[in-house]
Structure 1
Amino acid sequence: MGAQTRQSLEAVAQHASKAKGHTLAHVAGLFHAGRALAEHPSLLAALADHGHDSTQRATLLDGALGSLDKSARALLDDVVGLAWSEPADLLQGIEEYGIRLSVGLGDTDVLVSHLLELSRTIRAHAELQLALSDKRASADSKRSIVMALGAKSMDKVALEVAAYVAPQPRGRRASDALVDAARLACHQDGRGLAEVSVATELSAAQMKTVQQTVLKRFGTECYLDVVIAPEVIGGARIHVGDVVIDGSVDTQLNAMRLQLAG
């Protein structure tokens, strides 16, 4: 990631923290603009080229997205007005801004859990992963797949985010893009995301113990994404980013076997 993009993503986070009065319709408009720009690389390149001044970029947007809601256009202008190392990074900025703005439009825990549940559904069905990765398929057809998957099980905010992120994952697998979206939503909420693999469901007391363990280890609260994994046997395996806290009985048994073999 280039230095300009890194700085602009930090600015996006600041914009999102200060934004007030936006609605789901405004975020949906921002995502609509992102989908349109993704389909027109030359326009995307022109908007990311800061050889064009703000007036020229505004004229380009007026011609391409003149019907965009005024409030959604203001959100888009927040992103287009920043400097990006590569044209494609502008799409990342739109994605991150939309996700961050979505936090607070509903229950953040519901948003995160629904994104993660959809990610697991896609990961468990190879045909879905392939369909959402097919470069020959249109973004609209992929969006229709996501909308059909989440129509009955996801709330409106989570579905809007998923229907933007999964059909155009920007080089990632759709399932991974959804996890990234959930992680970003947690970050906007001042938390981390921890995947907790256990053999059976945790009690409230056990959840509290895991939360305290994570807080002590990382210095921040985390949303706990509890995954049932029978191979763990007992205890828990906790992933936070690239760090693993492994207190599972399975790992302890393997360690004992290695010691005995040595």
Structure 2
Amino acid sequence: MRGEASRISDRTARDEMAPKLRAAGEDAWRIGNELFTITNVLDHNVQLERALTDPSRPVADKVAVLDDLIGKQAHPVTVEIMSSLVGLKWSKASHIANATEDFGVDAMMYYADATGVTLRVSVELAELHSALLNLPVVRSKLHDESVPAEARIKLLDALIGQTKLNAITLRLARHATCNPRNRRYLETIQWLINKLSRHMGESMITVTTAAPLTIEQIKRLVAVYTAKLNHPVHINSVVDPKVIGGMRIQIGDEVTDNTVVAQLQKLHRSVKASA
């Protein structure tokens, strides 16, 4: 989100509507799906975005446009969220679609809370991220908007195969490829992982290794970084055989790279500098 007006509006809408989303319980699944659909419509209709965000236009007129868009069949909370958004000021017309998508993800997280699968969804998204790390051709096809959305979703489903992902994980993964929103696929999956981590009140620590971490290693890392940061942490385990060995640990923008490949690169630079 960019622009002071959009940041303020996003925060205002979130403070107002988050309690209602949380209270929606299992209805949050329907709300999230409706918001993802609206996001897609907005992304492909610039004139509609402008009509809903025009500061010179009376709010009542924008609500009327909204009624034409979503009709009377949408969930009442979906209508409330969108009515709240069109009544606020946005730095750019496209920012209303960003806020709508954010609410869609929030709805899915609250549905995960209501069904007791929040941690499972976070772990499954991390596993999907790792699985795609060394499949650059597949990744590029998943966010290639020159390919029909149906074909991209079919490719994703083929990749997942018989893996029994939670319905929320699958919906979020499909949303990322159905409407890339000018993002690379792994970028969207990482964004979703980070949102879930913040939702659970944890810091996300991404640990990249050549082989999967054992349960014991994960427990040790959780204990060490919980003590270091003085609040709960979640380990996002990424498997990348190219690092050869060791660990690359990222907390926010801070990176500690003790992988074998990093040490080799450091040695190569040292030798080159002294030659």
TM-score by length of 1: 0.82
Q: Give the CA RMSD over aligned residues.
A: 3.1
Counterpart for residue 143 of structure 2: 133
44, 51, 68: which one aligns with 1:46: 51
For the Cα contact (< 8 Å) 1:119–1:174, is it kept in 2? no
Identical amino acids, percent of aligned pairs:
21
Shift of 1:137: 3.4
Do structure 1's residue 154 and structure 2's residue 165 form an aligned pair? Answer: yes
Give the letter for the 1:21 counterpart: A
Deviations 1:148-168, CA, capped at 9 Å, x for gaps: 555743211122222223332
Give the letter for the 2:103 counterpart: Y
Do structure 1's residue 2 and structure 2's residue 3 form an aligned pair? Answer: yes
Do structure 1's residue 243 and structure 2's residue 243 form an aligned pair? Answer: no
Alpha-carbon distance between aligned partners in 2 of 1:258 and 1:6, rounded to the nearest angstrom: 43
Provide structure 2 residue ranges, at least 5 long, that are not aligned to the other structure.
none
- Cα distance change on mapping 1:131 and 1:251 into 2, 3 Å: closer
- Cα distance change on mapping 1:33 and 1:233 into 2, 3 Å: closer
Shift of 1:122: 4.4
Alpha-carbon distance between aligned partners in 1 of 2:240 and 2:136, rounded to the nearest angstrom: 20
Do structure 1's residue 80 and structure 2's residue 86 form an aligned pair? Answer: yes
Counterpart for residue 204 of structure 2: 193
Counterpart for residue 63 of structure 1: 68
Do structure 1's residue 104 and structure 2's residue 114 form an aligned pair? Answer: no
* Structure 2 counterpart SS, 1:87: coil
Shift of 1:229: 3.8
- Cα distance change on mapping 1:34 and 1:250 into 2, 3 Å: closer
Alpha-carbon distance between aligned partners in 2 of 1:64 and 1:193, rounded to the nearest angstrom: 37
**1:199-214 → structure 2 map (5 Å cutoff):** 199-214=210-225
Alpha-carbon distance between aligned partners in 1 of 2:111 and 2:219, rounded to the nearest angstrom: 27
Shift of 1:24: 0.6
Shift of 1:93: 0.8
Alpha-carbon distance between aligned partners in 1 of 2:156 and 2:176, rounded to the nearest angstrom: 10
Shift of 1:4: 1.5
Provide structure 1 residue ranges, at least 5 long, that are not aligned to the other structure.
none
- Cα distance change on mapping 1:198 and 1:134 into 2, 3 Å: closer
Give the letter for the 1:61 counterpart: L
* Structure 2 counterpart SS, 1:115: helix
For the Cα contact (< 8 Å) 1:167–1:174, is it kept in 2? no
Counterpart for residue 181 of structure 2: 170
Deviations 1:233-262, CA, capped at 9 Å, x for gaps: 554321122211234466567768888979
Shift of 1:81: 3.3
Say which is worse superposed, 2-11 or 145-154, in terms of deviation.
Answer: 145-154
* Structure 2 counterpart SS, 1:103: helix
Give the letter for the 1:198 counterpart: T
Counterpart for residue 94 of structure 1: 100
- Cα distance change on mapping 1:150 and 1:199 into 2, 3 Å: closer
Shift of 1:2: 0.8
User: Number of residues paired by the alignment?
Assistant: 262
Shift of 1:28: 0.9
Shift of 1:216: 4.3
* Structure 1 counterpart SS, 2:234: strand
